Amino acid sequence: MAAYCNGDEQAFARLYERYKDATWRYARRQLPEAAAADCQQAIWLKLIEQRERYEPKGHFRSYLFTLAHNAITDEHRRRSKQLARISDTEPQQLVDEQSHVPDLDNTSRYQRLISSIARLPGAQRDAVMLKAESGLSLSQIAEVTGSNVEAIKSRLRYALNKLRADVDGRQTPRSRGAEPEHD
Amino acid sequence: MTNNANNDEQWFDDLYRQGSDEHSPAELDALILQAASQNQRRRWPLFATAAVLMIAAGVLLNAPDSALSPASQSEVVSAPAQSGTLPGAKTTTADASPPDMEREMQASMETALAEQAGSHHPSADSLSDDAGDSDASREKSHSETPRMERAVTPERPSSSAMSADSNAVAAASTVTEQRSVDVPPDGYWSSQNEASLAANVRPSGLGRGEDRADRIYSDVAPDEPMANTAQPEFEAPVSTLATPAMAPESPQRKPPAQETAAQETEPEGLAGNTTSRDHAVEEVIVTGAMKRATGAGTTASIRGCPLFTFYLNSSEETLVELRQCSDGRWTLDPERKLCKRYLRVTPSELLIDGETLTWADGQAIACEDGRFNRPKPAGTR
């Protein structure tokens, strides 16, 4: 990133190649495909725009996924307002196509995992995807999301429990209790 | 974390890594990389312009008899190497004693430059992030600056003072001549150059040749009158779409007369008639985000809907932001918020029918799984 800030155009290409799939999956697991594409563009264009103001204080990943988190949050807000305003919307355009309940016999475990991730509450899903894609520590994830480490741990714990229960049908003591909604 | 939590985490990591093979769409990748390139190239003209402005200001302030005006700057430009003296000196052109005819041409050229500088002052636009034409003009200035320097510097005596002066000459040229005008090697303005300058027409192509990235965000195509393209804003759809001067005259595009006729009918077409059906999209739309990233473009409005438009060579591919209506039609109307997709397309592949976009053959645009039903072009791609 520092090289890109200094005018190395190829540095951006290298950055993009290194992180684009991670940011894409991070957005894709939380939004429909078209919205995820918008988000992906927003994330990287914001990085381009803010290049001159970038200060290498911490890890680049924290910076990048903070942009990503904010972009997804903005997209969710926009879609909420849009849903309230538009009455003739085709349902398929706004419903997350990943969240349909899979047929356990005919879908792979990975597909069931993806489907289950889509059905998680927003904050838990965000924590899980950050953990899966960003490579950040819990404290860094807390910083990205504007939360604290204990809250992130809690979200992850409940989320992973639920995911495992959905995918493998394994019930754990925690999964039987009420899961706090951290939206 | 407890053992169960660690176990769950490990389970998740193992399973997620197994199938995590979803990649960013290639089209999106190209869009973003292009935006980065455009933004990077735009930085250089900003710095270069700022630097040459400072140098020019220093030279002009130190020059005893040179006024701070475009006319005097053009004097510097016009006679850089005739006498070998400092360009800012009053005696430069006097000592050189150009022929009377060339002096007259020089005066008319200075007048044109003065008018140009007055209508499109570089300092106000160059540093603006939202300037439309100035960004394209900065890119051209940047592309032209090396040529200016190549044309000027070989004629100068090799001395640090003269090289600094040549930079000033190039700087002044860049400042006052946003649209490129070649400085002939001999420093004299030929009738060809004078005519070109008067018409505000670039005598030759882009300095970078086939640099497509510059062309895409250029709002001035070759042979396009500069005065008309200096307008940063369109005030009305009619003027926006029906400005014949803004239609590029490159061989790949339609003749201006046809474009003018078609564009003039477009507002009526938008009002309900379908006379625009056969009018190919010469102006394509890029996203607001792209505009913010590149700083290029101008705005127009159709039916009150703001659009960002660029004038492009019809053979150039660019990104178009399409919006989908609830009935499945695709439109350019940014007020449609249901679905937004980006389509890399050459303008000639699309038609505007009212607010609806179709392919050039009239086929409706459809998008499934992120892929558009683009017809196979006949030798266009």
Rounded CA gap, A132 and B14, in Å? Answer: 10
Which two tokens mark A17?
């190649």
- DSSP code for B244: G
Q: Which of the given ranges, A42-56, B88-102, B106-120, B335-349, has the highest pLDDT on average?
A: A42-56
Indicate whether B132 pLDDT > 70: no
Indicate whether B163 pLDDT > 60: no
DSSP H helices, chain B, are: 3-19, 26-62, 70-78, 91-96, 100-119, 122-126, 133-152, 160-176, 191-199, 212-216, 226-229, 237-241, 256-270, 288-294
Contact across the interface for A157 and B12, Cβ inside 8 Å:
no
Give A-chain residues touching B337 at CB under 8 angstroms. Answer: 82, 86
**Binding-face residues of A in 10-49 toward B, CB within 8 A:** 12-13, 16, 20-21, 23-25, 28, 33-34, 37-38, 40-42, 44-45, 48-49
Rounded CA gap, B34 and A9, in Å? Answer: 11
- Give the residue with greater pLDDT, B332 vs A166: A166
Residues 6+ apart with CB under 8 A from B325: B331, B336, B338
Q: Nearest CB to B22: which of A12, A24, A172?
A: A24
Secondary element (H or E) of residue B242: none
pLDDT confidence of residue B332: 62
| ipTM rounded to 2 decimals | 0.80
Confidence of residue B131 (pLDDT cuts 50, 70, 90): very low
Rounded CA gap, B175 and A28, in Å? Answer: 47
Q: For A60-104, what is each residue's pLDDT tens digit?
A: 999 999 999 999 998 888 777 655 554 343 333 334 455 554 455
Which two tokens mark B142?
């940047």
Average the pLDDT over A44-64 and give the result: 85
Average the pLDDT over B147-171 and give the result: 43
Give A-chain residues touching B39 at CB under 8 angstroms. Answer: 48-49, 51
Indicate whether A18 pLDDT > 80: yes
Which two tokens mark A110?
């990975």
- Give the residue with greater pLDDT, B24 vs A160: A160
Contact across the interface for B337 and A82, Cβ inside 8 Å:
yes
Residues 6+ apart with CB under 8 A from B7: none
- Give the residue with greater pLDDT, B108 vs B374: B374
Please give, rounded to a whole number of angstroms, the shortest distance from the CA of B17 to a CA of chain A.
9
Contact across the interface for B37 and A9, Cβ inside 8 Å:
yes
Indicate whether A129 pLDDT > 70: yes
Residue B4 CA: distances (Å) to CA of B80, B158, B217: 80, 78, 56
Q: Nearest CB to B33: which of A16, A49, A90?
A: A16
A7 touches chain B (CB under 8 A): yes
